[in-house]
Structure 1
């Protein structure tokens, strides 16, 4: 069982997120804490924790300072930031400090599922999280590389940002286009890839090598 440190000072959000994760990935062992200092103490006492989900703003130590401290204590630890911040600089600072992903707190469960996969959980859990990809009538797996090649350059940009866990509003701001335009691109992406939702689209992207070498 994979141990995940969950850091958030809002009890209601923390408890709700625990319930959501328990439903999406029941094999995870969630260790909830309410502050940065509590997180540091827990990480020092538990050698089995390999992943962190953390709020960016905390009442004591948070932000990039906490990210760097956690990575010093546990080199290689995989960290997903969940924040209500709308400031793109917060995301940039978090990623520069070593976060594997940055997800807005308004994201839906599908985006959370994709973000959990993004922090590269162990293969056994990764297989549990991964939704089945579409299979054509002849019974062979869909050629993800060929499917991705049918996307326009702009659709490719949108899909990469989806893989980063960005919500439509964030993609809109990042690309400098209307949110309605982003929704249109996503609809076209799902149709081209032959998948029903964003989660499966991100898995096609990852398996097809859109973010690097195909797996």
Structure 2
């Protein structure tokens, strides 16, 4: 059984989603809470929770702040954001804070379940309309992303792989047994080599190239 933490302040949506998940995936155990504070307490009380599905806007602790607290409480956890927002800035902020997926609340149960499994498998799930747009609203070039990646060193690829997993610099340095300063240097080189301005764009290039999973 895989334990999932569902965080949403709308009771009807939350209860409906619990029912849909338990029917579609009986191997899932769903812990449902209504806000960020309850979520942190539930995570601390249940060591088996390995996946989070969360609304981005919550009445107390939400958004990027909650994402970072969840990652701090359990660094290896998989997080899928469910939101009524279609704002690319929200997608960017969620991914930067450690979410591995972002899906609209209007998605079908089938699409939601596919996204959930994708996040569990380590893929990054983003709206198709976001995958080709940078944070300033500019269309990103689709040319030879694989060639850009091939110019990176093996160590830079290793760092980028961990970035794709949602790890922060401090977590990457601990995983690789190196200093955070060295990781920052690698990140600077990765961004320069890929011709992008932030981590989110670097991850999108990696996804489009197929190195870390095809876009969904």
Same fold flag (TM > 0.5): yes
Could you say which residue in structure 2 is the equivalent of 1:115?
Answer: 115
| CA distance in structure 1 between the partners assigned to 2:17 and 2:126 by the alignment | 16
Correspondence 1:17 to 2:17: yes
Correspondence 1:63 to 2:24: no
Q: Give the alignment of 1:118-197 within 5 angstroms.
A: 118-120=118-120, 164-166=125-127, 170=129, 174=133
Contact kept, 8 Å, 2:119 with 2:125, in 1: the verdict is no
Contact kept, 8 Å, 1:111 with 1:165, in 2: the verdict is no
Contact kept, 8 Å, 2:52 with 2:80, in 1: the verdict is yes
Return the TM-score normalized by structure 1. 0.59
Number of residues of Structure 1 aligned to a counterpart in Structure 2:
142
| CA distance in structure 1 between the partners assigned to 2:54 and 2:111 by the alignment | 16
Could you say which residue in structure 2 is the equivalent of 1:211?
Answer: 210
Q: In the TM superposition, what is the alpha-carbon distance from 1:213 to its structure 2 partner?
A: 5.7
Contact kept, 8 Å, 2:95 with 2:101, in 1: the verdict is yes
Q: In the TM superposition, what is the alpha-carbon distance from 1:110 to its structure 2 partner?
A: 2.4
Q: In the TM superposition, what is the alpha-carbon distance from 1:172 to its structure 2 partner?
A: 9.8
SS in 2 for 1:119: helix
Could you say which residue in structure 2 is the equivalent of 1:29?
Answer: 29
| CA distance in structure 2 between the partners assigned to 1:121 and 1:10 by the alignment | 28
Could you say which residue in structure 1 is the equivalent of 2:45?
Answer: 45
Task: State the Cα RMSD in Å.
Answer: 2.8
| CA distance in structure 2 between the partners assigned to 1:99 and 1:70 by the alignment | 10
**What are structure 1's unaligned runs of at least 5 residues?**
123-159, 177-208
| CA distance in structure 1 between the partners assigned to 2:7 and 2:118 by the alignment | 18
Label 1:10 to 1:213 Cα distance change in 2 as closer, same or farther (>3 A): closer
List 4+ stretches of structure 1 deviating above 3 A.
Answer: 170-176
Could you say which residue in structure 2 is the equivalent of 1:75?
Answer: 75
| CA distance in structure 1 between the partners assigned to 2:132 and 2:15 by the alignment | 30
Return the TM-score normalized by structure 2. 0.59
Q: In the TM superposition, what is the alpha-carbon distance from 1:21 to its structure 2 partner?
A: 1.1
**What are structure 2's unaligned runs of at least 5 residues?**
138-207
Q: In the TM superposition, what is the alpha-carbon distance from 1:113 to its structure 2 partner?
A: 1.9
SS in 1 for 2:120: coil
CA displacement 1:122-157 (0-9 Å, x = unmatched): 9xxxxxxxxxxxxxxxxxxxxxxxxxxxxxxxxxxx
Q: In the TM superposition, what is the alpha-carbon distance from 1:23 to its structure 2 partner?
A: 2.2
| CA distance in structure 2 between the partners assigned to 1:108 and 1:119 by the alignment | 17
